[in-house]
Amino acid sequence: MTTRPVMQTSSLLLVRRLIIFALSGLLIFYHSLTLYEMYVGTSNTAHTLFDNVQSVFRVLISMSLLLVVFGVRWALWGMWFSISGLVATHYWAHFGHLPVDFTEGRHPLSYLKGFIFPTIITLAFHSSSRNGESIEDA
């Protein structure tokens, strides 16, 4: 028979897993769509070094987030590495005066918004494993 604290713990674990799944899914969808539009979409322009570097980070973000959804703990490191790299390319574009549209009128600190979802994903991942329940136990 399940007691109330066990039911609360399992429902909190479910909420944390849903948060991980939803945020990771949004990021995977966004970065995959961006890659699709860049390489398969109507863009017929030659890709610059900046575009190629960002594409590598977007692929790494998608792959590491997919592994995070499946509960692979070390994938959090890959997620943080790749998202940090993508944010670094935004700073490269901003301070390097590259001819990209997204830097116009933006404050340099606005690129740090890219760390909000990974922070929530990491906190949800760690809080579910800290309670003695691994994310793979579903």
Q: Is residue 44 assigned to a domain?
A: yes
Q: Is residue 73 assigned to a domain?
A: yes
Distance CA 75, CA 95 (A): 30
Domain that holds residue 62: 11-133
Q: Quote the tokens at residue 136.
A: 């793979």
How confident is the model at residue 137, as a pLDDT? 45
Q: Is residue 4 assigned to a domain?
A: no
How confident is the model at residue 86, as a pLDDT? 96
Q: Is residue 1 assigned to a domain?
A: no
Q: Is residue 26 assigned to a domain?
A: yes
Q: Is residue 3 assigned to a domain?
A: no
Q: Is residue 101 assigned to a domain?
A: yes
DSSP state at residue 111: G
Amino acid 29 reads: F
Q: Residue-wise pLDDT tens for the chain (138 aa)? A: 455 565 567 888 899 999 999 999 999 999 999 999 888 877 667 788 999 999 999 999 999 999 999 999 999 999 999 999 999 999 999 999 888 888 888 899 999 999 999 999 999 988 655 554 444 444
- Give the total number of structural domains in the chain: 1
Q: Is residue 138 assigned to a domain?
A: no
Distance CA 62, CA 104 (A): 27
Q: How far apart are the first and last CA of the chain?
A: 19
